[in-house]
Structure 1
Amino acid sequence: MAVPPTPPADDTQVPAGQGSRPGTMVLCAVALLVLAVSLVGGNDTSADSSRPPLAPQPGASAASAPSAPSSADDSERDLPRSKPVRLLIPEISVDAPFTGLAIGKNGQLEAPPPDDTNLVGWYAKGASPGETGTSIIAGHVDTKTSAAVFARLSELDEGDVFRVERADGRTASFEVDSLETFDKDDFPSKRVYGDTDRAEVRLITCAGDYDRKAKDYTDNLVVFAHLT
């Protein structure tokens, strides 16, 4: 994310997992994005990418993934702000704590620590999961030694439900609207990071092929979901 990965060791094998590649140190979570002031939902960034997509312009609205239209009931269901403490995705055996992510000196969102494979990060100055707006949750797909927290993210299906346990004791449940893979050279920043008028979440990790020359995955996988 904010720093380049350690150069891959040719004799190191990465255990099989979505996006895993032999002999690589993969710390990638999501595409680089320069933070836009108007984005309540925040942004994310890749450990391996040096090719940031265009940031949404101030005042831009998100073209959200296909899902049910928002309504007054949606906003009434939204929760007050509260720090997330644990992400639970039963379908892919994710049970992971959160760490807050901040914008680094380079204007990009810092990555979750690379030495913990069972950890997810959220943009702590954006919307919290369950709060009105777009909450960004990033996780590594794999590391030098093993598959990481979002190794099986691509196995989720539309309609699957995952939960976020929060510091206020409430649990926010989210239903998956869609999974989409985007080329990092054509990443739809407005669509992914743009603000929304209901509580939504984006789960983001790397996907596609690993380009050893660029030290980067070619794509990003984004899971679009809304509060139920």
Structure 2
Amino acid sequence: MRRRRVAVVLAAGLVLGGGTAVAVGLGDQDTGPGEVPAAAPSPSGPAGGALPAPSAAPAPTPSGAPTSEAPTASAAPEQAPEHQDVALPATVRIPAIDVDSDLLHLGLNDDGTIEVPAGDDIDRAAWFDGSPRPGEDGPAVIEGHVDSPNGASVFYRLSEMQPGQEIHVDRRDGSTATFVVDRVEQYPKREFPTRAVYANTDGPELRVITCGGAWDADWGHYVDNTVVYAHEV
């Protein structure tokens, strides 16, 4: 079986900045995680702004987002040209935190950063289509906001998750990939462990990401990202 490899992602702050991958404790939205700030500004991206695209080359750094050293070409994983026989994801369900969301399929912005839920879809979760499909070998990435101008968003309670709890991804062919949480980590966005989060894996895994920590009004982002690590069962 060919492995679907995902290139290392520079996590300057994913989707979910104020609300997040995105799955999105990633971005730096203009709203924050944890508590919804009063008069929160409109999010500019998931968890922390925009997530640089998975690539061996450094992606442009969005205004206001922390910088991150780009991996060298030799450090970037190869990317297989074809998917295994796994259907596209349609829905993510996390019973422990009352999440049941249709999945957007988001790619890259013109500036090379990862798209984040916005507009009428701002409170939905999203699968980053540059990562493996859930159930393929490698770390599939789901992002979402922790909060938004509407209040608490899809991954508002993501930091409450515990090892052993399940995440279900329903696919378009009617099948379901079930993942069990291994651990939940919180990282300062300025020290995001890119390789640890996005490194290739031998089997199907999942990363669910959103913003976390305190809201930095001067910076306009949450200071941390929450990352859930899970493996398929």
TM-score range, shorter chain: 0.7 to 0.9
What is the distance in 1 between the residues matched to 2:166 and 2:203? 17
What is the distance in 2 between the residues matched to 1:156 and 1:208? 15
Contact 1:128 1:135 in 2 (8 A): yes
| 1:123 positional shift | 1.1
Contact 1:34 1:55 in 2 (8 A): no
| 1:131 positional shift | 0.8
Give the TM-score normalised by the residue count of structure 2: 0.74
2:177 aligned with 1:172: yes
What is the match of residue 66 of structure 2?
Answer: 51
| 1:60 positional shift | 3.5
Which of residues 106, 130, 144 in structure 1 aligns to 2:111? 106
Kindly provide the amino acid, as one letter, of the partner of residue 55 in structure 2: V
What is the distance in 2 between the residues matched to 1:49 and 1:160? 35
Q: Deviation string for 1:51-109 (max 9, x for gaps)?
A: 143344445389xxxxxxxxxxxxxxxx7332110000001000000011111111110
* Long gaps (5+) in structure 2: 1-13, 19-30, 78-83
Instruction: Tell me the C-alpha RMSD between the 2 structures.
Output: 3.0
What is the match of residue 93 of structure 1?
Answer: 98
Which segment is superposed worse, 150-159 or 190-199?
Answer: 190-199
What is the distance in 2 between the residues matched to 1:56 and 1:84? 29
What is the distance in 2 between the residues matched to 1:210 and 1:48? 17
Change (3 A) 1:93 1:213: same
What is the distance in 2 between the residues matched to 1:29 and 1:115? 14
Which of residues 189, 192, 195 in structure 1 aligns to 2:200? 195
Which of residues 29, 37, 40 in structure 1 aligns to 2:55? 37
Q: What SS does the corresponding residue of 1:191 show, helix, strand or coil?
A: helix
Change (3 A) 1:54 1:20: farther
Which of residues 155, 160, 163 in structure 1 aligns to 2:160? 155
Q: Deviation string for 1:1-39 (max 9, x for gaps)?
A: 68x99xxxxxxxx9x97342222136353454433436x
Contact 2:33 2:213 in 1 (8 A): no
Higher CA-based Rg:
1
| 1:193 positional shift | 1.5
Kindly provide the amino acid, as one letter, of the partner of residue 25 in structure 1: P
Q: Deviation string for 1:103-148 (max 9, x for gaps)?
A: 1111110111243354111111320111111111000111112110
What is the distance in 1 between the residues matched to 2:87 and 2:94? 19
Q: Deviation string for 1:168-197 (max 9, x for gaps)?
A: 221000000110000011000111112211
Contact 1:205 1:220 in 2 (8 A): yes
> How many residues end up aligned between the 2 structures?
196
Which segment is superposed worse, 19-28 or 168-177?
Answer: 19-28
Which of residues 183, 190, 193 in structure 2 aligns to 1:185? 190
Give identity over the alignment, percent.
33
Give the TM-score normalised by the residue count of structure 1: 0.76
1:107-126 correspondence to structure 2 within 5 Å: 107-126=112-131
What is the distance in 2 between the residues matched to 1:182 and 1:205? 11
What is the distance in 1 between the residues matched to 2:37 and 2:92? 26
| 1:221 positional shift | 0.4
What is the distance in 2 between the residues matched to 1:59 and 1:36? 14
Contact 1:33 1:54 in 2 (8 A): no
Q: What SS does the corresponding residue of 2:140 show, helix, strand or coil?
A: strand
Change (3 A) 1:109 1:214: same
